[in-house]
Structure 1
Amino acid sequence: MDVQLQKIFDSNYKGKTLYNHFCELYYQMQENKYYKAQSLSDFEDLSNFIKENRFYHLPLKTADQVNNLQDQIFPWQEYCKQQMQLMQIKAKVINATVQNFLKLNALLNNVGYGFTDEDAYLIQQSLKSIAIRDSNIINIRFWGKLFAQNRDYYVIEVQLSKSYKEPQPIDCDEKLNEYVHYVTQDLLEDWALLPQVTRKQMEASRFITYVFSGNLNKEITQYPIFNGKEKHLLKAQILRITHANLLAPRGLYRFDDETKLITFEDEFKMPESAELSTMDGWVHLPPNILKQGRITFYEDPSLKEEELNQMKEADPELERLKSIKDDKPFEQNEGNWNIKIFGETQQYTNQEEQPLSYQIVQLRNYLWPGAITVSNSNDFISIYFGYGNKNQQNSFNPLAPNDIQEEPEDIDEIPEPNPREQPDELEPDSDDERRREQERREAELQQQQE
């Protein structure tokens, strides 16, 4: 206790300790005969008066210190500086197809998703800045937002030219790493490139349920063992979500069986809103990811032909541009997608006598909560807002309790027998007493016979 009090008295404030302050208080109370402290508040007033009127001598600064003084930068000044740098991106010839996120963000806001106008503009400028960096980028879009424990991840998806080939990990598929992703936790900061994932990492990510921490370099301690950090698992989950939920209207693309390539249809017309509000009007754009963590089946040379055929039958490659109507239904639902219509459903005609509709269609995936596709009669967007985990938990439907049973009938009460005369022989209580009583009677009967 004494040591703690001594530390308190020795506490220093601008060259004066608490002990010195108490000494000055005592001196003023003794010298000023007109001062009479009636309560604790009077004592506090005197203490504040001494603090405010005390002269604190500050040593003069040298010439070098004065000449090298730095201007104080406030947080809002740094924010404005970063924002101006992003807004003043010079317009250059961009060969890539940049998503018009400002226009699509208004579409998302109509269904309850989307960003503010300020954040949407920063995202749009970020798309341009990344497209300017690399000439091999042919397509760039805003992928979505992944929630984390500390700071969330903003994700941008980039598609590179097929002529540009990066070195791939061992046993990995080039088509799996066709999409490149950048992430950031602040739209004014720089974007970080996520690394490529291996086949083993993709295979292990299917069995891991993990809430991201917000640290890209954090080690993953999960079972099964994941040989990588959070940035590798983040890339694996982004790829799984992309290949399962990136949709396109039916008829926008066509698949060539010979070249195995997907190209745009020459004469495509956006379907009417009535067709977009059904599952027949939408198809999966990317191929499905196999259970072994690849797009195309990997034939292990160490396995026999029969084993390879069994593995192919258990994990087949699905057809391209497959309709979402053919998806496996989720639990008791009719399909794997929930379709909801927003806005006015009335059909109109424009000046050219063409059908016109103002309704907006939203498709929400049951298996991957947060994956949505929103469209109207002109545009559509697929985006993700979630934790990056698959919905693998079945709904809890407890059984109803049994019916309450009726009360049993009352038992007739009979008074306890209390005879006036004591019986000659009492009935034994236990089996041993009955046995001994029986032996005694048999012995008496035998003696009478003799």
Structure 2
Amino acid sequence: MSSVTTTTEKRGVRGRRDLMNDSSSVSDEGSLYFLQGEERDFLNAKMFLMSKPDPFTPSLYEHLSGMIARLLEDGSEVTSDLEELSRLMKLERLTPPAQPMKDHVPQSASEKLAHAQWTMLKKPPLPVVESEQTQLEDGSPLPPEQTAAVPDILRLAAQLEAAGVGLPREEFVRMSLALRDLVNMYPNVQHLRFWGKVLGTTGSFYVAEGEFHEGDYEDDSSGTHEDAEEEESDLREEDSSLFEDIMIPEDLKLAYRPPPKIPCEVAGTGLNKKVYYVTSEPGLPWIRLPHVTPVQIQVARKIRKYVTGDLDAQVVSNPPFPGTERNFLRAQIARITASTQVSPLGYYRFDDEGEEEEEHAEEAGGGRANIIEDLEFEGISVKDLADGGLQAWVHHSPGILPQGRTTWWNPAQPKGEYNGEEEEDEDEEEERNEPDEPEPEVGPPLLTPLAEDENVGISPPWIACLSSKFVPEYAVAVLQSNVWKGAYAFATEKGRYFDNFYVGWGVKNLDGAFEPDLPEAPLPEFPSGPEVTEIDDPSPEEEAAVRAALQEKNWKRNLNKVLATTTTTLWMTKVMAETSLINIDY
């Protein structure tokens, strides 16, 4: 029993850190050190506390040491909140760093769209307001966003669905909510309607059409820079022409003069009478398209291009298009609107109040341009509206002239006269009356029947039909355009309710194959003559003879100058001597 106890007492933890300075701990052999009793138990407990379950988790010994160090640093004598202090220190270790190594993942396009549409759906609806109501129940006037006309998109969807065209009903519902947001953004907009959808290669555009009152049209900020560039170019042209008149001889002046730039129609008139807004998806912000210019219309007629879905994309074409995709989209919308906006015959009539202005416009070759809704319209039967003769439908949008405008602009008139300034120069008036003045361009007048439209090859320009042959008394008259595939018009209730809608790629249907615009003819070269005719180089002997002749000529010229100077000096001296100014004996 004593031998077992002696063996147990001699057991210890061997290691350099376990060495004791006490000489009594050295064994009789003088080579091993060991601990006994409480010291050994203390060291074993410490080693147990310093053990770690994994390399990333601090040991219990480190945790307790940190708690004691925290208490000593704070100088707190209260030890009742040790558990709370332990919990806080554990939370500090679990807190992620302020700048993690992994970047924040941005939202995808589908997530942004879902968030935008969810925000749109959560907005409260506008209060129901009768058409003749001008104030609320408490007598206060209606706010602007409540008086604006929000179109009935669901009614439009029902009629298009009956006609077998249009978009899914879900898109119409979302578009109805999106138009409500558009009304809140632009409370001054009037006669808002859903124009249609233009398809693109990577994205599509939903288009809304609005109209303002005469004094509420906003300035087109997108054209400010272009107008400034036009003014600078005009000044540069004037300066260059003045320089040419003074410095350049007549035989070296260029005979070519660029044609005058056709001005853009003022906001609220012509092609810029309506304002168009686009969005890629219902719920995303609406973007206003800029005004269209005649040059953009002319170039858009010469190219065939699909939109990409990016308004800032460059339009790569020949001839080059002056602008980005937003300008090209606006030009195509103007062309489609001018060609496919139709209405039942008699729904609109010419405005009798502006007869004097219309007569003046007719004399200028523009035709009558003001139409209003006829309140005495009796309606047309659906059977007549669906007749293939197309006599019951008319165009109520002005056509686009080859010049790129709805009204012709005379390029020969002075600039001041076009701007409304009075010119009293009789010479300019005589120049205007010269026989070489260009002939005015005249387009089809307003309210022209569709029967007068040109065919597309062997196909008629429009196809008219009923939405249902089984119940014609409740059917809808439908028109489909063959010029712009995707343009539709429908009418019901004897033509009192009608609308136009477009969903397509924004490309015109041609009779034959598309022929790109050929480049302009090159300018003629200089006429043949001694100034531009090549000759052989002279030989060295001929150059030496010419050089000797020039030297002899220069010597004679210098000699004549010396003789002339000497003669003048002698003559002046003689004159002064005769007048007794000086005395010289000859």
Q: TM-score, normalised by structure 2?
A: 0.51
Q: 2:399 matched to which residue of 1?
A: 288
| 1:183 partner SS | strand
- Counterpart of 2:466 in structure 1 is 341
For residue 86 of structure 1, what is the aligned residue in structure 2? Answer: 120
CA contact (8 A) 2:412 2:438 kept: no
Distance 1:187 1:247 in 2: 27
Residue of structure 1 equivalent to 2:150? 98
Q: Superposed, which structure 2 residues align to 1:217-256 within 5 Å?
A: 217-256=312-351
Deviation at 1:343, TM superposition (A): 1.1
Is 2:487–2:500's contact at 8 Å kept on the other side of the alignment?
Answer: yes
- Equivalent-residue separation in structure 2 for 1:154 and 1:344 (angstroms): 32
Aligned position for 1:266: 375
Residues 306-325 of structure 1 deviation map (CA, whole Å, 9 limit, x = unaligned): 45443x2xx31321111111
Distance in 2 separating the partners of 1:231 and 1:56: 61
AA aligned to 1:91 is: L
Where 1:94 maps in the other structure, the secondary structure is helix
**Could you say if the C-alpha distance between residues 75 and 97 of structure 1 is closer, same or farther in structure 2, counting changes exceeding 3 Å?**
closer
Paired residue type of 1:65: P
Quote the Cα distance in structure 2 between the aligned partners of 1:164 and 1:384: 27
Provide the residue aligned with 2:194 in structure 1: 142
* 2:302 corresponds to 1:207: yes
CA RMSD of aligned residues (A): 3.2
- Give the conservation status (yes or no) of the 8 Å contact 1:345–1:358: no
Q: What per-residue deviation string (whole Å, max 9, x for no partner) do you get for residues 336-372 of structure 1?
A: 111122214556xxxxxxxxx2122221111111111
Instruction: Give 2:290's aligned amino acid.
Output: P
Report which of the two has the higher share of strand.
1
Structure-2 separation of matches of 1:58 and 1:159? 68
Deviations 1:190-215 (A, max 9, x none): 11111112221122111111011111
Per the alignment, do residues 295 and 57 of structure 1 end up closer, same or farther by CA in structure 2, a change over 3 Å counting? farther
Change (3 A) 1:56 1:110: farther
Structure 1, 203-212 or 82-91: larger mean CA deviation: 82-91
| Identity, % of aligned positions | 26
Alpha-carbon deviation of 1:288?
Answer: 0.6
Which of 320, 323, 329 does residue 449 from structure 2 map onto? Answer: 323
Query: For 2:452 and 2:302, how far apart are their aligned partners in 1?
Result: 24
Greater shift in the superposed pair: 210-219 or 76-85: 76-85
- 2:463 alignment partner AA: N
State the 1:139 CA deviation: 0.8
1:9 alignment partner in structure 2:
none
Say which SS state the counterpart of residue 97 (structure 1) adopts: coil
Q: Residues of 2 paired with 1:134 and 1:344: CA distance?
A: 43
Matched, 1:382 2:500: yes
C-alpha distance in 1, partners of 2:285/2:300? 27
**Could you tell me which amino acid in structure 1 is paired with residue 373 of structure 2?**
F
User: Which residue of structure 2 aligns with residue 110 of structure 1?
Assistant: 162
Cα distance in 1, alignment partners of residues 498 and 56 from structure 2: 66
CA distance in 1, matches of 2:437, 2:505: 35
> Secondary structure of the equivalent of 1:149?
coil
Choose 317-326 or 111-120, whichever is displaced more: 111-120
Partners of 1:264 and 1:177 in 2: CA distance: 21
2:264 to 172, 184, 208: 172
Cα distance in 1 for partners of 2:507, 2:208 equals 19
Residues 1:367 and 2:476 aligned together: no
Letter in 1 for 2:453: D
1:73 and 1:209 map into 2 onto residues whose CA distance is: 35
Matched residue SS, 2:307: coil
Q: Alignment partner for residue 394 of structure 1, among 512, 531, 534?
A: 512
Q: Distance in 2 between matches of 1:329 and 1:101?
A: 32
Which protein shows a greater Rg? 2
Show the counterpart of 2:15: none
CA contact (8 A) 1:95 1:138 kept: no
Change (3 A) 1:323 1:393: closer
DSSP-derived class of the 1:98 partner:
coil
Q: Secondary structure at the match of 1:65?
A: coil
**Partner Cα separation in structure 2 for residue 84 and residue 211 of structure 1:** 31
Q: Distance in 1 between matches of 2:324 and 2:109?
A: 32
What's the CA shift for 1:57?
Answer: 7.4
- What number of residue pairs does the alignment pair up? 329
Distance 1:329 1:56 in 2: 84
Taking a change above 3 Å as real, the CA distance of residues 62 and 253 of structure 1, as seen in their structure-2 partners, is farther
User: 1:232, 1:251 → 2: CA distance?
Assistant: 35
Verify the 8 A CA contact 1:254 1:263 in the aligned structure 2. Answer: yes
Do 2:197 and 2:207's aligned partners in 1 also have CA atoms closer than 8 Å?
yes
CA distance in 2, matches of 1:202, 1:73: 39
TM-score, with normalisation over the residues of structure 1?
A: 0.66
Could you tell me how far 1:235 is from its partner in structure 2? 0.3
Query: Against the structure 1 CA distance between its residues 56 and 327, is the aligned structure 2 distance closer, same or farther, given a 3 Å change threshold?
Result: farther
For 1:267, give the aligned amino acid.
E
Distance 1:58 1:103, change over 3 A: farther
Query: Aligned residue for 2:96?
Result: 65
Residues 71-126 of structure 1: CA deviation (Å, up to 9, x unaligned) = x9999886654334223244165333332111111111223322223211111112
Give the residue type in structure 1 aligned to 2:480: R
Task: Give the Cα–Cα distance (whole angstroms) in 2 for the partners of residues 389 and 308 of structure 1.
Answer: 35
CA distance in 1, matches of 2:174, 2:464: 30
Asked whether the equivalents of residues 202 and 236 of structure 1 are also in contact (C-alpha less than 8 Å), the reply is yes
**SS of residue paired to 2:208:** strand
Residue correspondence of structure 1 range 36-51 to structure 2 within 5 A: none
Amino acid in the other structure paired with 1:316: V
CA deviation map 1:236-263 (0-9, x unaligned)? 0001101110111111111126154211
Q: For structure 1, which runs of at least 5 residues remain unmatched after alignment?
A: 1-54, 348-356, 397-450
Q: What is the aligned partner in structure 1 of residue 31 from structure 2?
A: none
Question: Residues 56 and 147 (structure 1 numbering): CA distance in 2 closer, same or farther, change over 3 Å?
Answer: farther
More helix per residue? 2
How many angstroms apart in 1 are the aligned matches of 2:56 and 2:488?
63
**Offset of residue 140 of structure 1:** 0.7
Question: Residues 304 and 73 of structure 1: is their aligned pair in 2 closer, same or farther, counting only changes over 3 Å?
Answer: closer
Q: Secondary structure at the match of 1:254?
A: strand
Contact 2:485 2:504 in 1 (8 A): yes
Partners of 2:54 and 2:279 lie apart in 1 by: 48
Aligned to 2:28: none
State the alpha-carbon separation in 2 of the partners of residues 73 and 297 from structure 1.
51
8 Å Cα contact 2:164/2:467 also seen in 1: no
